[in-house]
Every structure is written in C-alpha cells, then in structure tokens.
C-alpha cells in the first residue's frame, strides 16, 4: 500500500488545473465600462440623473435577503465596525465572538474600543457554542457577533434566543456564508445587523468590498452615517451635478464607502451566486460521503440549515492521524493535488495576527490592555479542532465530480502513507514544526496564505 507521496517527490494524484477564482460574470466588463464613463466613481461624486451603483446594489442585495435595508461598505471589516457602532457598542463594552474565525472578528471589536470575549466552539460545526457563549456573558456584555464559518451555519435558534434572553444585540458575520439559509430564511436576517465581506476570496466578490443589512430603518440610517463621514442619501434626488449626500451631525462616521466600480461589479456577480453555491453544495456532498468512508470527519452545519454554502471545505483528520501535524498533512494533500490545503485558522487567543498590544491606539490604560489580552482565555474545543482540521478554498468545489474524486484520492493516499509524514527527521515538513499548543501552527501558516 505504500507509494512515494508527491510531497517527497513522488508522482502527484493530479496535475490538471483547478477552476480559477474569481470568475467574472457575463455582464461585468460592460458594467465596469459604464461606471468608467458615468462621471460618478463614488457615492459622494455628483448625481448624474440615475441611481448610483451603490444604491442599485444595495437594493438588489436587500431584495435577495428579503430585508428592507442594505448599506454597502468598503470591506467586511468596515461592515462589522459599522454594525457594532450602529448597535451602540463602544468603549469598554464586552462582545462575545467565537474563538475560531478570521482575525477581523476580534480586531473589529477591539477597533470600536470594545473587548472581544472569545466563546468556544461546537466541535462538529466549528461555530460558536451556545453554551460557551452563555458562559461568556457578563454584566458588561452588549452584543454577540456570530460567525458562520467555512461551510457551517451556527446554531441561530439557540443564539437568537440567548441574545433575546439577555437583552443584547446579535450581529451576524456572514462573510463566509453569502446565500446560506437557516429554517428557510437567508442568514444575515436573524441578527440586528448582518455583515458581509466581498473580499477577493469570498463567494461574492468585488476584490474588496462589504455590506451591512438590517430590517431596522433607524439602524440603516446609522449605518449610512458611519459609512460616509456622517452623511446619508438625500430623501429626494438632487439636480444633476449636485451631491446626493446630506451632511448631518447625528453621528460621526468615517469614509468606508464602496466605489461605484465595486458596486457595479457586485450587481453582476450576484447573478451567479446561487448557481455557483449549488455546484459547490453538490460537489461537497459527494466528497463528504467519500471522505467519511475512509475515516475523515467533514465539517457539519447546525440542525436547521436549509441552504448550505461553502466558503471553505473543512475536514477533520481521523483519530489514527492524531499525532500528525495538520499543517504537514495539509501540505501533503496539497502536493498531491496542486491545490492549497492548509490547517484551519489558529484560535484567536493564539493567533499571531491578533495582537492588539502592538497597536498604540489600544494602550488606553493598563486595565484595558489586560482585558484585551487574548491569552487570558481557555478554549479547549477550538484548540482541539485546530490540531486536527484542514481546509481548502471553495473554488476547488466549482468543478466536476471527477475533481472531487481526485480530492478524495489524495486524502486516501496521504492517509494510507501517513507513516512517511511521521518519519522524516530533519525534513522541512517533519513534526519538528509540530506544536503541542497550536502556536507553531500559526507560524507555519503565513499570513498571506491563511485567509481561506
Ligand atoms: C473575510 C472575513 C472578514 C473580513 O472581511 P474583509 O473584507 O477582509 O475586511 C470578517 N469576518 C470573516 C468571518 C471573514 O471571513
């Protein structure tokens, strides 16, 4: 049963290319050209007699979610900070968020001068555990930011009930779940605000971009102010050539506006989202079945999920491979496939990217820095998951069943030859990089490659 693994110079399972990402929608070029010649490249540029692309995208994205309001923004980070501040979160407030996520989940909370409090995860879904979230609530808690991670939805029934019981805001970070639905309703509509990223890697993208959606008109106004330096759209369109934004003094903002190019692009990209989500869902289901047969444990989603979507395909290694560094296993599978495979995010209390003390702005006083210190948290489930779970980007799920067969074969081959990963002392890929505490895992996964 032994073969030389590709990571050690053996022949790879696959050398064919993978689907590329991003994939421009059919109308993308024309839409970009139209903005180019429109005389308005920003929402704060002069009104040209027609709705801005920002407004048109906001309408489409709100309608897509069957919700009243959408405020597009420059990034997911911007959208999350707007969501927090629109809900009145600020200095000294505690915000409960999951230990496993992209660093922005924590940095945005710290960024509004609040304190991220990390809740542990459910080991099957990798999303926030309701019990741990409840245990993290203190009198200072003002909000929960839930993240729908990789391909899972969090337990929204449990979390909405929890937020209600404690009278705190629920904000949904849907940056990895565009188009997913829970009990028949799109995610992003369960929280007071739903925040999205349209970064290059995400399933809906304009390179950089974001959006916040809400049912509450008052929150929508606040989101607008926070997004455009305290300005919002006029109630009635102005004369051509005039600014369309009204200057108010209700709430100071920052410029976090999405450019007209990005909004125009998103209108087109949104038309392919459902079809692409369906392809990924079908391929992932096929792969789930194969990988389960050989002992792997693909990520599960919360009961109640009605439309699953895939930003990443995450899978836990079998117990028999518990002694193998997931970074090494991921590299070995990646080498078989010519596809980046990597460990899941390092938990945020040990994540090299989450280092608030490196920023002067957080040195408000020693007590604030102590509260921000991520090392004060104990998060055993997140650590356990990080020690045994690998992930690859959703673009690999956009192909055909034969592509899924290649992926399954690569996992099977590396599994069958796992001894080779154990017995290469001195090799760059050996367990010398291994990490009882997950810390070296972060180091083995450079920031540039850690996004998906
Ligand atoms: C990508 C992402 C963000 C940040 O979005 P940006 O557009 O990169 O600012 C926040 N949260 C999660 C869960 C993400 O995946």
pLDDT tens by residue, 124-142: 999 999 999 999 999 999 9
Token pair for residue 246? 């009204």
User: Which atom of ligand 1 lies nearest, measured to the CA of 105?
Assistant: 11
For ligand 1, pick from 72, 173, 174, 312 the residue to mutate: most ligand atoms within 8 Å of CB. Answer: 173
Each residue's pLDDT tens digit, 313-335: 999 999 999 999 999 999 999 99
Write down the mean pLDDT value for the chain. Answer: 93
* Matching residue, tokens 């990217």: 353
Q: Pick the residue whose CA is nearest to atom 6 on ligand 1.
A: 76
Each residue's pLDDT tens digit, 183-229: 999 999 999 999 999 999 999 999 999 999 999 999 999 999 999 99
User: Which atom of ligand 1 lies nearest, measured to the CA of 201?
Assistant: 1
Beta-ladder partners of 172: 146, 194
Centroid of ligand 1 to alpha carbon of 401 (angstroms): 29
Query: Residue 270 above 60 pLDDT?
Result: yes
Question: Residue 449: its pLDDT value, please?
Answer: 39
Question: Residue 447: its pLDDT value, please?
Answer: 35
Query: Residue 425 above 70 pLDDT?
Result: no
> How many secondary structure helices (H) and strands (E) does the chain include?
14, 16
Average pLDDT over residues 98-122: 98
Question: Residue 423: its pLDDT value, please?
Answer: 72
Neighbours of 159 (CB within 10 A): 25
In this structure, what DSSP letter does residue 175 have?
T
Question: Residue 53: its pLDDT value, please?
Answer: 98
Better-scored residue on pLDDT, 57 or 423: 57
Average pLDDT over residues 12-26: 97
Centroid of ligand 1 to alpha carbon of 354 (angstroms): 14
Q: What is the DSSP string of 111-153?
A: HTT-EEEEE-B-TTT-SBPHHHHHHH--TTEEEEEEE--TT--
Token pair for residue 162? 């929890």
pLDDT band for 429, please (50, 70, 90 cuts). Answer: very low
Centroid of ligand 1 to alpha carbon of 342 (angstroms): 18
Active site residues: 202
Question: Residue 424: its pLDDT value, please?
Answer: 58
Each residue's pLDDT tens digit, 362-399: 999 999 999 999 999 999 999 999 999 999 999 999 99
Neighbours of 398 (CB within 10 A): 19
Question: Residue 249: its pLDDT value, please?
Answer: 87
% of the chain residues with pLDDT over 90: 92
Centroid of ligand 1 to alpha carbon of 77 (angstroms): 6
Element housing 247 (H / E) = strand 245-247
In this structure, what DSSP letter does residue 14 have?
-
Q: Pick the residue whose CA is nearest to atom 5 on ligand 1.
A: 76
Question: Residue 121: its pLDDT value, please?
Answer: 98
Better-scored residue on pLDDT, 452 or 415: 415
Better-scored residue on pLDDT, 322 or 444: 322
**Alpha-carbon gap, residue 429 to 443, rounded angstroms:** 13
Query: Residue 428 above 70 pLDDT?
Result: no
For ligand 1, pick from 108, 118, 197, 256 the residue to mutate: most ligand atoms within 8 Å of CB. Answer: 197
For ligand 1, pick from 22, 76, 79, 309 the residue to mutate: most ligand atoms within 8 Å of CB. Answer: 76
| Residues in the ligand 1 pocket, defined by CB under 6 Å | 75-77, 101-102, 104-105, 147, 173, 175-176, 197, 199, 210
Query: Residue 252 above 50 pLDDT?
Result: yes
Q: Pick the residue whose CA is nearest to atom 4 on ligand 1.
A: 76
User: Which atom of ligand 1 lies nearest, measured to the CA of 198?
Assistant: 7
Centroid of ligand 1 to alpha carbon of 310 (angstroms): 15
Centroid of ligand 1 to alpha carbon of 76 (angstroms): 5
Average pLDDT over residues 335-352: 97
User: Which atom of ligand 1 lies nearest, measured to the CA of 199?
Assistant: 7
Q: How many residues does the chain have?
A: 452
Contacts of 435 (CB under 8 A, 6+ apart): 325, 441, 444
Contacts of 72 (CB under 8 A, 6+ apart): 54, 57, 58, 61, 209, 210, 211, 227, 257, 258, 262, 263, 266
Phi, psi of 260 (to 5 degrees): -60, -30
Centroid of ligand 1 to alpha carbon of 105 (angstroms): 7
User: Which atom of ligand 1 lies nearest, measured to the CA of 176?
Assistant: 15
Which of the residue ranges 2-11, 12-21, 247-256, 358-367 would you say has the lowest mean pLDDT? Answer: 2-11
pTM of the complete model? 0.93
């Amino acid at each position: 049963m032994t073969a030389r693994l590709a990571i050690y110079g053996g022949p790879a399972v696959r050398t064919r290319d993978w689907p590329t990402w991003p994939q421009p929608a059919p109308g993308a070029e024309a839409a970009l050209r139209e903005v180019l010649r429109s005389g308005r490249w920003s929402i704060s540029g002069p009104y040209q007699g027609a709705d801005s692309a920002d407004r048109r995208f906001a309408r489409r994205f709100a309608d897509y979610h069957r919700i009243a309001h959408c405020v597009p923004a420059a990034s997911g980070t911007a959208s999350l900070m707007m969501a927090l501040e629109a809900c009145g979160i600020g200095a000294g407030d505690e915000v409960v968020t999951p230990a496993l996520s992209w660093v922005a989940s924590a940095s945005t909370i710290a960024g509004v001068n609040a304190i991220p409090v990390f809740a542990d995860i459910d080991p099957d879904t990798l999303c926030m555990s309701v019990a741990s979230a409840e245990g993290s609530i203190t009198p200072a808690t003002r909000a929960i930011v839930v993240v729908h991670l990789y391909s899972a939805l969090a337990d929204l029934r449990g979390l909405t009930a929890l937020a209600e019981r404690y009278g705190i805001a629920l904000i949904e970070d849907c940056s990895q779940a565009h188009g997913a639905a829970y009990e028949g309703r799109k995610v992003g509509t369960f929280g007071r605000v739903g925040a999205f990223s349209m970064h290059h890697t995400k399933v809906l993208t304009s390179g950089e971009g974001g959006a916040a959606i809400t049912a509450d008109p008052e929150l929508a106004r606040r989101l607008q102010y926070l997004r455009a330096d305290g300005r919002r759209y006029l109630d009635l369109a102005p004369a051509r050539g005039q600014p369309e934004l009204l200057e108010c003094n209700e709430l100071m903002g920052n410029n976090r506006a999405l450019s007209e190019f990005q909004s125009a692009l998103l209108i087109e990209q949104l038309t392919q989202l459902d079809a692409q989500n369906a392809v990924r869902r079908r391929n992932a289901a096929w792969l789930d079945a194969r990988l389960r047969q050989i002992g792997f444990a693909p990520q599960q989603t919360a009961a109640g999920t009605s439309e699953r979507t895939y930003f990443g395909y995450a899978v836990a290694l079998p117990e028999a491979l518990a002694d193998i560094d997931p970074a090494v296993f991921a590299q070995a599978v990646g080498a078989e496939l010519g596809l980046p495979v990597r460990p899941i995010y390092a938990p945020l209390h040990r994540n090299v990217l989450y280092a608030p003390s490196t920023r002067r702005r957080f040195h408000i006083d020693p007590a604030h820095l102590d509260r921000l210190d991520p090392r004060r948290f104990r998060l055993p489930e997140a650590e356990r998951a990080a020690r045994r779970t690998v992930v690859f980007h959703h673009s690999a799920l956009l192909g055909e069943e034969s592509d899924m067969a290649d992926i399954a074969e690569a996992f099977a081959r590396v599994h069958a030859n796992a001894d080779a990963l154990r017995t290469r002392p001195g090799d760059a890929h050996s367990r010398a990089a291994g990490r009882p505490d997950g810390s070296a895992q972060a180091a083995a996964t450079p920031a540039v490659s850690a996004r998906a």
